[in-house]
Amino acid sequence: MPIKDEIKSFFKGDVSDAEADREKYGRDYSIFKVEPQIIVFPKDIDDLCGLVAFAAKKKAEGEDVSLTGRSAGTDMTGGPLNSGIIVSFTKYFNHIKEITDHYAVVEPGVYFRDLEKELAPKGLLYPPYPASKDLCALGGMVNNNSGGEKTLAYGKTEDYVRELTLVMSDGKKHVIKPLSGNELELKLKEQSFEGEIYRKLKALIASNYDLIKKSKPDVSKNSAGYYLWNVWDKESGVFDLTRLIVGSQGTFGLLAEAKLGLIKAKKYSRLAVIFLKDLTWAADIVQEMLPFKPESIESYDDKTIGVAVKFWRQLIGSMKGNVFLLAWQFLPEMLMVVRGGMPKMIMMVEITGDDEAALAKKLDDIKARIKQFAAAHAGIQIHLVKSEKEEEKYWTIRRQSFSMLHDNTTGLDTAPFIDDFIVKPEYMAEFLPKVNTILDQYKKDLIYTIAGHPGDGNFHIIPLMNLKDARVRALIPVISDQIYKLVIQYHGSITAEHNDGLIRSPYLRMMYGEDMVRIFGEVKNIFDPENIFNPGKKVNASMDYSMKHIGG
């Protein structure tokens, strides 16, 4: 019997092996294409349990069957791509089950934009949203440990997950939450699949405790590998498996539900824009700004300004308002280009609060502090944005300029492969010029801009390249090696927010070393001994496989 018909015999949801669906679900926002065998759209938890039981039975019979969860498919690493069964959640698993003042309970297929619409009237915020917030879904955010412009003030997804419901390799539903005291002791004694996971994992962490703690990247955020250092707090006695499952890219099971913490949104927001003629003082400026407790510090570079000026008509088209007034707002950037006085970095410091007068005072204090700093360090200017419309210009340049560049460049593809590294902010002035030096060696073969989150030293580079050219494709591992060796030299992480997937899993050995990669493999085996869930991510990854699946 064909596998499609076998699944239909127990499955209430939809099942498709149509060519159009296999093409669609064989791609995400990465450079890869991996066509699946079949796509399923589960309707309820019983469908998920049935799928896992089916995959386990097939594995026992010697067939290579796998399950890979997928939400909105905005991942840039190839994380939700596989040649087996793709489990798509946005069609039916898309319910917001509960919202209180402190948390929301959601299914993995809920689009963030829909949750945001429900939260806004209540004055609530789920802060760790990524730049793709209008496109992404909550399941991907949890599985990638997403972060974004609010992470500086509020942290990442891992800081907001209160409880997870997962279907694991025994084909049963498991509710995972932090445990301590008697609850933890009972769980460790429990004669069940879940109890065995707790016992084995606790023993593994205990026997490798010092190595695991030492391996934690010395940066404020990280999405590389498995976050074993977050699981067991010896001092408090808390054992929290949610901190391991977050960011695991669906390699431990199928996520069915998440309970996510919420905060009260601030009433008012203001923006200070700082122009730096060189990068020498970038780290110092960040340090000067942090005592003011900004909600975000975002940046873009001189190449981005050039794109904004070149395609200003299209940028204006994405903004609302009078075309002539909007065009007038871009005059300063145009004059900078004409006069050759473009800054190397534009830094956007967002301050929020509930007291408008206090917020205005804080902005004035920021301006005074930067002017004092600039008096001793040439090439620094500050501008306090006066209106929401003017503020929108800066956010539009930050968020839209790369898509403008892509849409107006013929024959080149977006190539996210070094798109998310992080080092401590104090290394920025020394580190970023070295990044430019590496990439400028390949300027005949790629175009790039640098944007990011300088408040925590996290930067995004998504070059444009001709991926149809085999010689150009072959540069991907060469450039990755050079950039990631530099990142590790500065004690950073190869991915702060975007995770590993097909593009970075092969580099975990470079980042963590053989012993930690072996431990990662043991963790995967504890949860998923038959390798049912999203194989080839995090562990047992192959750069050769990845390179062979770069899509055209």
User: Which among 545, 538, 535 is positioned nearest to 244, based on CA atoms?
Assistant: 538
Q: Quick count: other Cβ atoms within 10 Å of Cβ 426?
A: 15
pLDDT, position 176: 98
Residue in this structure with the two tokens 């340090």, named with its chain if needed = 287
Give CA–CA dist 298/345, Å, rounded.
10
CA dist., res. 461 & res. 331, Å (int): 27
- Cα-based distances in Å from 414 to 32, 96, 404: 11, 33, 12
Residue pair 306/405 in contact by the 8 Å Cβ criterion:
no
What is the average per-residue pLDDT within 526-541? Answer: 97
Within a domain: 390: no
Q: What residues contact 432, with CB distance under 8 A and at least 6 apart?
A: 279, 282, 450, 459
Largest CA distance in the chain: 78
Domain endpoint, select from 88, 118, 138? 88
- Structure confidence at residue 405 as a pLDDT band (50, 70, 90): low
Q: What is the pLDDT of residues 143-189, one digit of tens each?
A: 999 999 999 999 999 999 999 999 999 999 999 999 999 999 999 99
Query: 306 in a domain, yes or no?
Result: yes
* 362 in any annotated domain: yes
Least-confidence region, from 40-54, 85-99, 388-402, 521-535: 388-402
**Is the model more confident about 48 or about 411?**
48
> Phi/psi at 440 (nearest 5 deg)?
-70, -15
Residue at a domain's end among 88, 113, 136: 88
Q: How many percent of the chain have pLDDT more than 90? A: 79
State which residues form the domain around 474.
409-498
Residue 456, pLDDT > 50, answer yes
- The residue type found at 495 is T
Question: What Rg, from alpha-carbon coordinates, does the chain have?
Answer: 24
Regarding whether 167 and 142 lie in a shared domain, the answer is yes
Spatial CA neighbour of 447 closest among 406, 401, 478: 406
- Categorize the per-residue pLDDT at 333 as very low, low, confident or very high, splitting at 50, 70 and 90: low
Q: Looking at residue 273, what is its pLDDT? A: 92
Q: What's the angle, vertex CA 16, arms to CA 416 and CA 50, rounded to 5?
A: 100
CATH of the domain at 221: 3.30.465.10
The whole-angstrom distance between residue 305's C-alpha and the CA centroid of its chain comes to 24
Mean pLDDT computed over every residue of the chain: 92
Q: What is the CATH number of the domain that holds 349?
A: 3.30.70.2190
In three-state form (DSSP H/G/I as H, E/B as E, the rest C), the secondary structure along 53-109 is HHHHHHHHCCCCCCEEEECCCCCCCCCCCCCCEEEECCCCCCCEEEECCCEEEECCC
Based on the domain organization, do 115 and 258 belong to the same domain? yes
Mark whether 245 and 195 lie in a shared domain. Answer: yes
Return the percent helix, strand and coil in the chain, to nearest 5: 45, 20, 40
Count of alpha carbons within 13 Å of 481, Cβ hemisphere only? 6
- Residue 394, in any domain of the structure: no
Whether residue 222 contacts residue 496, with contact meaning beta carbons closer than 8 Å, is answered with yes
pLDDT band at 330 (very low <50, low <70, confident <90, very high): low
Which CATH number characterizes residue 49's domain? 3.30.43.10
Whole-structure pTM over 0.85, yes or no?
A: yes
pLDDT tier at 409 (50, 70, 90 boundaries)? Answer: low
How confident is residue 339, by pLDDT bands cut at 50, 70 and 90? low
Other Cβ atoms closer than 10 A to 128:
26
- Residue 404, in any domain of the structure: no
d(CA 92, CA 113): 17
Confidence of residue 10 (pLDDT cuts 50, 70, 90): very high
pLDDT at res. 115: 98
